[in-house]
Amino acid sequence: MGNVKVVTDSTADLPQGLIEALNISVVPLKVHFGSDTYEDGVDLSPDEFYEKLGNSELMPSTSQPTPFQFEEQYRSFAEDGYSSIISIHLSSRLSGTYQSAVIASQELEGEVDVTVVDSKKASYAIGIIVTEIARMAKDGAGKDECLARLDELLSNTAVYFMVDTLEYLEKNGRIGKASAVLGSLLKIKPILSLNGEGEVYPADKARGSKKAVSKIIAELEKAAGGSPVHIGLSHARAEQAAEDLASRAKEHLDVRSTVITTIGPVIGAHVGPGTVSISVMKAD
């Protein structure tokens, strides 16, 4: 066992196989349908969530873990013998999850060595980074080495996504109502990304999915700059679209590894079914 424990939250949309293989701890966020509350990925799977979303008249809401949940986890890992904990989370501009983790780390200051990181990213754009750091930790890398690589990855990982409808982003306050209505009327497919502060912004737009994919590939080529990359795709009931996008990316980029995963309930509540995301991370 290495000395570093890697923690993230359920919005990283990590496949279960990677969580188990790399010994990653995942703290769940919550999804609320009216008075019913579920823990993301614990008692509500992605399939169950999208089924419920399609049958419910209620727009789901989400909430972050409490500081106490993080504190319990951190304390247990210290008791298990880990000397350091690196806790990497959803953009602080999108959720209070990062702040809950910070409060927990402050409660344990002087008792447990915890470094909390605002990824300024979402979904598998977090997951692809967490996976790399967890792999390093499993191979015996120390805290400083992991944090140095993490700093590189946060600056050298690009993410773009397309939504099937702007309804969910508009209702959750991520874009304005006027933009959502105009986009729907003109059949414009917005190409969205996360800026340096971790906020959703329109990176580009195109008429139809094919043109949108071409524009995304062009942006990913710029981001890669000819370097070999790892790619990660996440989708909300749009597996074929994710596979097609992965194939296109492999035609234009020097891809060393590919992961395709499902967007979980919390992120899914904000982007809706049909969403496809691709993240590109420069290989070591």
CATH code of the domain containing 263:
3.30.1180.10
What pLDDT score does 208 carry? 82
What pLDDT score does 2 carry? 66
- Asked if residue 51 is part of any domain, the answer here is no
- Mention every residue, 6+ apart, whose C-beta is less than 8 A from residue 174: 200, 270
Question: What are the beta bridge partners of residue 63?
Answer: 30
Residue 263 is part of which domain span? Answer: 157-282
> Tokens standing for 149?
């690589």
CATH number at residue 100: 3.40.50.10170
**73 in the same domain as 9:** yes
> Tokens standing for 203?
């990176």
**191 in the same domain as 178:** yes
**254 in the same domain as 144:** no
* Residue where a domain terminates, one of 118, 133, 155: 155
**107 in the same domain as 9:** yes
* Residue where a domain terminates, one of 120, 137, 155: 155
How many domains does the structure of the chain reveal?
A: 2
What pLDDT score does 205 carry? 84
**107 in the same domain as 177:** no
**258 in the same domain as 163:** yes
What pLDDT score does 184 carry? 52
- Asked if residue 49 is part of any domain, the answer here is no
The angle subtended at Cα 119 by Cα 150 and Cα 198, nearest 5°, is: 140
What pLDDT score does 173 carry? 53
* Residue where a domain terminates, one of 138, 155, 172: 155
What pLDDT score does 183 carry? 47
H or E element, residue 282: strand 276-282
Q: Which pTM value belongs to this model? A: 0.92
**165 in the same domain as 126:** no
**86 in the same domain as 12:** yes
Residues of the chain with pLDDT under 50: 174, 176-183, 185
What pLDDT score does 190 carry? 82
What pLDDT score does 171 carry? 65
Q: Using alpha carbons, list the distances in angstroms from residue 90 to 28, 161, 179, 206, 275.
A: 12, 16, 25, 28, 18
